[in-house]
């Protein structure tokens, strides 16, 4: 059915050459992506934070500038803290939901190992398991001994006599007295 090892379309040298070209191209693309990230970061920083002009400012103006920068840092820290709290809450919620999913699925299942057995050995194991489970069940049963007092109470005798004795007011009196 299988005709042996599969023949490849390309020779080993051709595959090696193609692999080298792919790796070189991937390296170039990675370098371009990193440089794009750096330029994008610089441009966003220049947009959000204008450069400081400290020359020609008096001491009082520098102090006001410092106070303003401190206020901005405080607002950024508050926003960062709020975002971190939300992220932690979401991560905890995700972990809880994943735990619930695993509980519903039945928890982690171990990887099963392949066992080589012949069909006769498997059938023999199955029949032995069935027979042993029945005999184990019977041997594990407890024997129950009845008390003689309970047997006497259970034996009503002739039912007609019992009905006649319990009928009427006398039977009701016996029920209340006992």
Nearest to 162 by CA among 176, 175, 151, 150: 175
* Domain total of the chain: 1
173 is a domain residue:
no
In a domain, 123, yes or no: no
**The tokens of 140 are what?**
């594990």
Q: Which SS3 state, helix, strand or coil, does residue 15 take?
A: helix
Could you give the CA distance from residue 85 to residue 92 in angstroms, rounded to a whole number?
11
Judge whether 32 and 24 are in contact, CB under 8 Å: no
Q: Across 75-153, where does the E strand assignment appear? A: none
| Any domain includes 170 | no
The verdict on residue 54 lying in a domain is: no
Could you list the residue range(s) of the whole structural domain that residue 22 is in? Answer: 14-49+59-106
To the question of pTM greater than 0.85 for the whole model, the response is no
Residue 74 maps to a domain? yes
Residue 113 CA: distances (Å) to CA of 110, 116, 122, 128, 160? 9, 10, 16, 22, 70
In a domain, 101, yes or no: yes
pLDDT 10s per residue in the chain (178 long)?
A: 456 567 768 888 999 999 999 999 999 999 999 999 999 999 998 888 878 888 888 889 889 989 999 999 999 999 999 999 999 999 999 999 998 888 888 766 677 777 777 777 777 777 776 665 555 666 667 677 766 555 555 455 666 666 666 666 666 666 666 5
Q: Is 76 inside a domain boundary?
A: yes
- Residue in this structure with the two tokens 């006497």, named with its chain if needed: 152
Asked if residue 132 belongs to a domain, the reply is: no
The angle formed by the CA atoms of residues 113, 114 and 115, to the nearest 5 degrees, is: 110
Helix (H) or strand (E) holding 50: none
């Amino acid at each position: 059915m299988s005709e042996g090892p599969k023949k490849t379309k390309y020779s080993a040298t051709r595959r090696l050459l193609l692999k080298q070209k792919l790796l070189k191209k991937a390296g170039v693309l990675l370098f371009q992506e990193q440089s794009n990230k750096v330029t994008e970061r610089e441009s966003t920083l220049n947009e959000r934070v204008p450069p400081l002009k400290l020359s020609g400012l008096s001491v009082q103006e520098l102090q006001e500038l410092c106070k303003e920068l401190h206020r901005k840092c405080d607002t950024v820290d508050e926003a960062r803290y709020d975002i971190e709290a939300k992220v932690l809450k979401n991560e905890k919620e995700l972990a809880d939901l994943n735990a619930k999913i695993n509980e519903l699925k039945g928890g982690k299942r171990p990887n099963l190992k392949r066992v080589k057995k012949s069909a006769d050995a498997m059938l023999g194991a199955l029949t032995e398991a069935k027979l042993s489970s029945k005999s184990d069940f019977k041997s594990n049963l407890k024997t129950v001994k009845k008390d003689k007092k309970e047997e006497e109470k259970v034996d009503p005798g002739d039912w007609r006599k019992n009905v006649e004795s319990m009928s009427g007011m006398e039977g009701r009196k016996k029920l209340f007295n006992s």
